[in-house]
Amino acid sequence: MKLLYETQDAQQNRGFIEELQRSGDFDLVEWDDWSDHGLTQLANTLAGEQVVFRARRPLAARYLEDHGIHLINRAEVNRIANDKWKSFELFMMLGVPTIPSYRQTPSYPCIAKTANGHGGAEVWLLQSEKDIPNTTAPLLFQPVVAHQADIRVYVIGLEIVGAVKRISNDSFKANYSLGASVEKYMLTAAQEKNVLRIARALNSDYIGIDFLLLEDGQHVFNEIEDPVGARSFYETHDDNIAELFVEHIRKMEKHAPFHREDRLK
């Protein structure tokens, strides 16, 4: 089985990669050429393989699937998770509570995000029009929502394997990689129901689902992460999420066996 990362992400996630390789038989493929020629080469390299796809490259994922390569997660999950507009539309379609999102500033102050940003990067607090970032990337605007914490839920298949409460002491960005404090969090029945509704709609294998925990205890969904980082999970849980992920893959293979020769036909 192949494990696909971009080179920089592979360096930053070396620990998780080693845990996956300790739990299963994974050959690491580091790839950075996403040109047409590069994708052709990549498809040839991965032909007939099952691939754990750990890049934020929806178009590349679709290309590989169209060439008969089985991806975990599938390309549609990557497409929706890496486009905040698509995620917002999914939340609205499913009827789960979500943060209102706009293509124009609703009022000030507000939050601006690039549609394809991740990890707390490319997020700005705007106090006035002069604060709008100078970027060519599509922007999404949201009202400032008073909340007590940001929750990330880790979902493997249709099983919630854990949740992390993230609190930032000096920033509106509650992201562990940016210095937020983290602790284990137990979901309410309503939160669990909504999370599983999202995971079921995506038919995903391993994702993170983020929501804001409001001051009155209610919740509003915010983002979907694919690929999702596991540092805060390891910081707050005893389970090895890499092992849980590999177990999920093995169960998939058992119930729907993957035959290399079938992919090569």
The predicted-structure confidence for 47-67, as pLDDT tens digits, reads as follows: 999 999 999 999 999 999 999
Q: Which of 54, 87, 3, 34 is nearest to 228 (CA)?
A: 54
- What is the reported pTM? 0.92
Altogether, the residues listed in the chain come to a count of 265
> In whole angstroms, what is the distance from residue 238 CA to residue 155 CA?
16
Averaged pLDDT of the chain: 93
Token pair in block for residue 181: 């404090």
Token pair in block for residue 178: 């940016």
Q: pLDDT tens across 11-49, in order?
A: 999 999 999 999 999 999 999 999 999 999 999 999 999
pLDDT at 257: 59
- Report CA-CA distances (Å) from 257 to 28, 45, 121, 234: 22, 21, 39, 30
Element (H, E) at 38: helix 36-46
Amino acid making up residue 194: N
CA 157 to chain centre: 13
Is the sign of the CA dihedral 61, 65, 68, 71 positive or negative? positive
175 pLDDT more than 80:
no
Q: pLDDT tens across 247-265, in order?
A: 999 999 887 755 544 444 3
Reported as a pLDDT band with limits 50, 70 and 90, residue 118 is confident
> In whole angstroms, what is the distance from residue 250 CA to residue 242 CA?
12
